[in-house]
Structure 1
Amino acid sequence: MTAVASGPPVPTPQRQRQLVLAPVLGLVALSICGLVAVAIVGTSIGTAGVVVGTVCALLPVGPVVATFLWVDRWEPEPPRLLLFAFLWGAGFAALSSLILNSTASFFADVALGAGSGDVIGAVVVAPFVEEAMKGAFLVGLLLFRRREFDGITDGIVYAGLVGAGFAFTENILYLGSAFAEQQMMAGASGAVLGTLFLRGVLSPFAHPLFTAMTGIAAGIAASRRNVGSRIGIVLVGYAGAVLLHALWNGSATFLGGGGFFGVYLVIMVPLFVSLIGLVIWQRGREQRIVAEQLPGFAQAGWIAASEVPLLSSLAGRSGWRKAVKRRSGTEAARAVGAYQAAVTELAFLRARIARGSVSASAARWHDELLRELFAARQRAIGNPEALTAAWRLPPPPGWQPPPQQWRPPPTPPQGWAPAWPPPGRPPPSRGQPLRHPPWPQQGGPPPSQRPPEHPPRNAPQHPPQSRWPPR
């Protein structure tokens, strides 16, 4: 009996409403959690403390978020999911940690005496609770949105935004408390500025660094097919996050100012520098993955061969979008950006398939991403200059814009090797490489089924002084 692979769900009006309503409700719920957390904090620091704390907490959050968005340039994650990550940290994780930490400190005071709850809560309870609440978002992505995890970089980006959101709400508490405790004294501004310098200048990446341990583990776990292996790797990352968090809080609680700055300089700064090195190395690896996949894409007719140099580097992609924006406007530039992102998504997935690190649903993912790539390219072709503006010079004589009616071939020509196993068959097993390029190398698809070149193969080329694409 032949298994029949089911296609994507039919986009009925009811399903479309659900796809829009569910994220909106989630964002509203997370926002409410954040407001409740701030309201609880406000009962202890007052309205003025909340206002001052919020204004001061906004100062470091912008650069921190911008840093992680910069890291996420090769394969930009869905903006809605990035917003979810930040609100998860600022809303749900902050509120649940506030409740659990306060409850644990109360029982510790009752059992061990007044004052012990603050110490145990900061050094023992808070690291376990807070890293668990922040890490729950990453675990949820692994369970329900595993397609969004292409490696370590994605884990660092999501973990960093969750940590940035959590730190934002926590900074409101600390900065507001500094203002509330000293507002009747002459040194009020000094206390607030001192706290802002410590939390906003010296350690704005503290919470993102802790949670990044879980994020790195989640990125590694996403490439494992064994469930036990994935669980074990995530737990190891979580343990690393808890250890760093406990060391940070413990040094501030027991070692005083000198010991705290010693831990900061000897342990935290080198770890942060190592994280930067890991991000740089991982971005270079991602660029190599994309560059290796692009020739096969061009051979298969999924992209134009002349686009390969433009898509092979961040400089080429950025220059392409800027040129399109200057000549064709913002919407055309966004269409090209979406096309570039679709190419990267498919390249990463095929690399994971070649490593044997995806599940049986990879065939469906592959087909969906390929459809998305074709649709993104079609939107870019809708503006004829969107795929040609990167030349920066007037088109050569005889050049014609690509036809807007072009559509990708529904099926390859008879006799060609399929780009993927037929429906019902499993993807390649671990260690079995995916055939690359997907079509035979003798010339690729016929000219009538290739995406339009810019300029066509038989068109005169630009003079050497064009110097495009950038190298």
Structure 2
Amino acid sequence: MSYQHPNQPPPAREPDGHGQQPPQGYPVQQAPQGAPHQPYQASYGGPAHPQQRSAYGSHLRYAQAPAPVSVAPPSEQYAPSAQHGWVAAPARRHPRRRVVFEILLLALGTLGVLSFVAVTALLFGVGNSVVATFFSLIPLAIVGFAVLWVDRWEPEPRLLLAAAFVWGGGVAVWLSSLMNEPFGTALGSSLAPSMPPEALPAVFGAPVVEEFWKGLGVLLIFLIRRRHFNGPVDGIVYASVIAAAFAFVENIQYLSSAGDQMAFTFILRGLASPFGHLIYTACIGVALGLASRHKSKLAWLWMMPIGYLGAVLLHGAWNGAASFAGGLGGLAAMLVFLNWLPLVIWAIILVWLRKKETQLLAERLSDYVPSGWLVPQEVAMLTSMQGRRNAKAWAARGGPQAAAAMKSFQKAAVDLAYARQDLYTGHTGIRARQDEMALLETIGRTRAQFKTALGV
């Protein structure tokens, strides 16, 4: 199979006063290396016209793209060219995407969620369980909107997020409920024999057992779907989805069994501390996210235990304080220092991580500027949420297909940056190189689609 080169420049046209101005975030381009300024139609998203090639990129090949020596440049076969020739198309990316892992996890987890809620209804009454489920949806919505806001930068596969959700709400909840009491009693009796026996499962069992099963879900995604685990922010997203589902199902159980104390329990768990489980399990997500950026493929073997220890300590501190806090003063201090303060700290860390992700995206995409696959204005647009929105609005003027092409262009470019990062870390060299070639083809093709629709 062959295809016309994706970055073939469009036919020259005379400015007609329409479509010449780029959207906000796409400033009018100044051609590099002192070349004359080009109209937006001629210079946006591709190399200069053939007659101006000597001024823009004719002597630049991928072999000269800025990159460490350890990262091999892409083949020159795929470098942009102004020639109107035909080249062999790279292999399609994910020709038949395998989703066996997600389907198995969805089936097992969904069965777990439904069966646990059914058992809760049998034990505490259907009416109580229905009311408890309704109230539990409120903190789930709060956490869910926060997670989706974080995930909008580089959205994870929805099927994988759904699998993570039912792992947390089904598998992790069931196994934790079966193991918390016996494990906590055994461990607590040996470590704190003077502690009241009824407090042992909460203080020693729940932190160790629950964080293990939630963390195992994050680890499985890391090991089996490494392609979609691109750093600490991704780790936080997956960990948060698992933790949110765990808290949702756990809240149904707690509220159903609370009786007359349902309102108080809802305020404490659902409104005052909805991010509790997220705070704990995010430690594991960040640890595995850092491992994904480490040059050693086995970094998770020592980074995962560090994250797990942090999750257990935070969870144990909260449960211990909840078990022994006295009066409203103790409860307020517990909320402030063991829930709200850690949440603020995590928010600050997340903002910092997002900033680092933006820098990484800009650095990796800039590798493709000298060869003409991208222009600086596109890099600026792709590293700004406002720029992305403006670009989508601009492309939408060309109709739904142009808008869809711009969306695909943006997604492919972000994926390209992380495929490039994989080449730097050396984790998935051959696969990342194949992804890189296919994504470059997608970028050129989708750019041509929305430019054609817009007449630029």
Same fold by TM (over 0.5)?
A: yes
**Partners of 1:372 and 1:60 in 2: CA distance:** 38
Q: Is the 8 A contact 1:339 1:373 kept in 2?
A: no
1:336 matched residue in structure 2: 406
**Secondary structure of residue in 2 paired with 1:226:** coil
Provide, for residues 305-352 of structure 1, a one-character-per-residue CA deviation record: whole Å limited to 9, x for no partner. 6533322311101121233346523x6434422321221122133245
Cα distance in 2 for partners of 1:39, 1:224 equals: 43
- Is 1:300 the counterpart of 2:371? The answer is yes
In 1, the alpha carbon distance for the partners of 2:179 and 2:297 equals 29
Amino acid at match of 1:236: I
Q: Cα offset for 1:289?
A: 1.9
Match of residue 259, structure 1, among 330, 333, 352: 330
Equivalences for residues 55-454 of structure 1 within 5 A: 55-104=134-183, 118-178=198-258, 181-182=259-260, 191-226=261-296, 229-257=299-327, 258-303=329-374, 306-325=377-396, 327-329=398-400, 332-354=402-424, 357-359=425-427, 361-375=428-442, 377-379=444-446, 381-384=448-451, 388=454, 401=455
Structure 1 moving runs of 4+ over 4 Å: 7-12, 102-113, 383-386
1:324–1:385 contact (8 Å) kept in structure 2: no
CA distance in 1 between partners of 2:411 and 2:93 (Å)? 24
Distance 2:352 2:295 in 1: 24
Larger RCO: 1 or 2 (CA < 8 Å, sep 6+): 2
Query: Residues of 2 paired with 1:45 and 1:368: CA distance?
Result: 52
Shift of 1:8: 7.6
Question: Any gaps of 5 or more consecutive residues in structure 1?
Answer: 1-6, 183-190, 389-400, 402-454, 456-471
- Corresponding residue for residue 463 of structure 1: none
Q: Output the CA distance in 2 between the equivalents of 1:366 and 1:214.
A: 29
Q: Tell whether the 8 Å contact from 1:105 to 1:118 is kept in structure 2 after alignment.
A: no
Contact 1:104 1:117 in 2 (8 A): no
| Aligned alpha-carbon RMSD (Å) | 3.1
Amino acid at match of 2:106: L
Could you tell me whether the CA contact under 8 Å between 2:382 and 2:410 is conserved in 1?
yes
In the TM superposition, residue 221 of structure 1 has moved relative to its aligned partner by 1.4
Identity of aligned residues (%): 34
Q: Residues of 2 paired with 1:267 and 1:59: CA distance?
A: 22
Asked whether the equivalents of residues 155 and 215 of structure 1 are also in contact (C-alpha less than 8 Å), the reply is yes
CA deviation after TM superposition for structure 1 residue 129, in Å: 0.7
Tell me how far 1:244 sits from its aligned partner.
0.6
Q: Deviations over 1:66-92 (max 9, x none)?
A: 111111222211111112221211111
Spell out, residue by residue over 1:352-383, the C-alpha distance to the aligned partner (whole angstroms, 9 max, x if none): 544xx332x32322321430342355246445
Partners of 1:328 and 1:385 within 8 A in 2: no
Aligned residues: 364
The answer as to whether partners of 2:419 and 2:435 remain within 8 angstroms in 1 is: no
Contact 1:156 1:212 in 2 (8 A): yes
- Kept in 2, the 8 Å contact 1:142–1:149? The answer is yes
Between the aligned partners of 1:270 and 1:131, the Cα distance in structure 2 is 20
Cα separation, partners in 2 of 1:35 and 1:380, compared to 1, 3 Å: farther
